[in-house]
């Protein structure tokens, strides 16, 4: 009998797209210099090919919108979407409701790779910000894949595949990799401030460079993961049943883990360590829209982007003119959410 999970209902895609649109408009219009919403909307429409509208914004306001705020908001959409998509993917691959890029040690591994790039380039007399476009994401990817492989090996080596064991293994791997990261930081005292700021998470960008850097990786990750969304539903019934339906469970896990790790690595390389997005968003989507990955994956990607843009908005305005690290905001929201999931869903099989 063929497995036929529920199809994606268009209403959830519409809701996700509306959330992205609302976050986009709010993100670019709110700040120390408030911009009028109608003018912002008209200017954004004017950026579309073949559309020429008079927004009524001055040249200074237009430059503020297009060159400063819009790149930051678009980067937030990409990073939030990648982290949420990776979280939903890991949860399906490991059939574990607590799997998350940070809790599995993936972000710590990516962070160690980025820290190594920063310290090595500074030690060679180069600027960390002048790193080659592929160097930082590549180092982050290697660290992320190594971390998730080590976590999974530790968690399953004794035959116990419970959610608690996987999380404990992730905590152990994260602690080990964080120790390595601290060692590298201490060897280059001049880089400590820069790395520490990066560790807290930030979306600060002075242009479109970071967006163009992460965009190719985001496209590859989204295409691969979304193309396997039905396979994740098949994996949920168990390896034996999945193999009987013509799916190679081990190969599918390798492909999806690599794709999710690539997305996490790309996000971490430009935004630092921003936690809990991969737990908050997929669980919320699953609660509202159902358990099928045909729905969870695309909607989580959209809602995750909107969520991070709104979190960044809070980070920029809650203590203005100072700016709170966005990782602090997501941790403040995510820690109690994680406790709730731990108490109510730790023994739930996906």
Helix (H, G, I), strand (E, B) or coil at 29: helix
CA distance 276 to 100: 7
Phi and psi for 7 in degrees, rounded to 5?
A: -80, 160
- pLDDT beneath 50: ranges in the chain: 1-3, 127-132, 346-350
Burial class, 87, CB count within 10 angstroms (exposed 0-12 / middle 13-18 / buried 19+)? buried
Q: Which run of H or of E encompasses 99?
A: none
CA distance 151 to 91: 14
CA distance 215 to 200: 22
Class of domain 61-345: mainly alpha
Residue 107 in contact with residue 273, Cβ under 8 Å? yes
pTM of the model: 0.86
Count Cα atoms within 13 angstroms, Cβ side, for 159. 0
Both tokens of 17, joined, read 């797209």
Rg value, the chain, Cα: 20
CA distance 179 to 265: 19
C-alpha dihedral sign at 169, 174, 180, 182:
negative
CA distance 303 to 19: 6
Q: Please list the alpha-helical segments (H only) found in 188-248.
A: 192-199, 209-227, 229-235, 239-244
Residue 91 in contact with residue 349, Cβ under 8 Å? no
pLDDT of residue 162: 64
Q: Which run of H or of E encompasses 23?
A: helix 10-29
CA distance 81 to 291: 19
> Distance of CA 306 to CAs 18, 70, 145, 172, 266, Å?
9, 14, 27, 31, 18
CA distance 24 to 34: 14
Of 38, 44, 74, nearest in space to 62 by CA? 44
């Amino acid at each position: 009998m063929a497995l036929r999970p529920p199809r994606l209902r268009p209403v959830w895609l519409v809701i996700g797209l509306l959330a992205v649109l609302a976050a986009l408009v709010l993100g670019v219009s709110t700040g120390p210099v408030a911009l009028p919403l109608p003018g912002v909307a008209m200017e954004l429409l004017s950026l579309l090919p073949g559309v020429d509208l008079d927004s009524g914004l001055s040249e200074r306001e237009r430059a503020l919108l297009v060159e400063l705020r819009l790149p930051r908001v678009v980067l937030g959409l990409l990073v939030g979407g990648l982290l949420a998509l990776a979280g939903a993917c890991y949860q399906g691959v490991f059939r574990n409701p607590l799997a998350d890029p940070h809790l599995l040690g993936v972000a710590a591994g990516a962070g160690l790779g980025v820290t190594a790039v920063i310290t090595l380039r500074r030690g060679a007399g180069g600027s960390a910000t002048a790193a080659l476009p592929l160097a930082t994401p590549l180092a982050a990817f290697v660290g992320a894949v190594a971390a998730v492989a080590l976590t999974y090996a530790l968690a399953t080596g004794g035959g116990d595949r419970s959610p608690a064991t996987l999380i404990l293994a992730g905590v152990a791997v994260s602690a080990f990799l964080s120790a390595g990261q601290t060692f590298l930081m201490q060897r280059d005292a001049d880089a400590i401030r820069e790395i520490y700021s990066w560790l807290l998470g930030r979306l600060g960008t002075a242009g479109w460079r970071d967006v163009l850097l992460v965009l190719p990786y985001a496209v590859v990750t989204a295409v691969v993961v979304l193309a396997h969304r039905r396979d994740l539903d098949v994996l949920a019934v168990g390896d034996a049943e999945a193999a009987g339906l013509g799916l190679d469970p081990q190969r599918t896990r390798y492909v999806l883990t690599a794709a999710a790790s690539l997305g996490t690595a790309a996000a971490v390389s430009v935004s630092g360590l921003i936690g809990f997005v991969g737990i908050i968003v997929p669980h919320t989507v699953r609660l509202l829209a159902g358990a099928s990955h045909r729905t969870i994956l695309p909607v989580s990607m959209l809602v995750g982007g909107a969520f991070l843009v709104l979190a960044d908005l809070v980070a920029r305005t809650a203590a203005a003119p100072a700016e709170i690290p966005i990782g602090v905001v997501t941790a403040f929201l995510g820690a109690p959410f994680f406790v709730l999931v731990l108490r109510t869903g730790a023994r739930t099989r996906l």
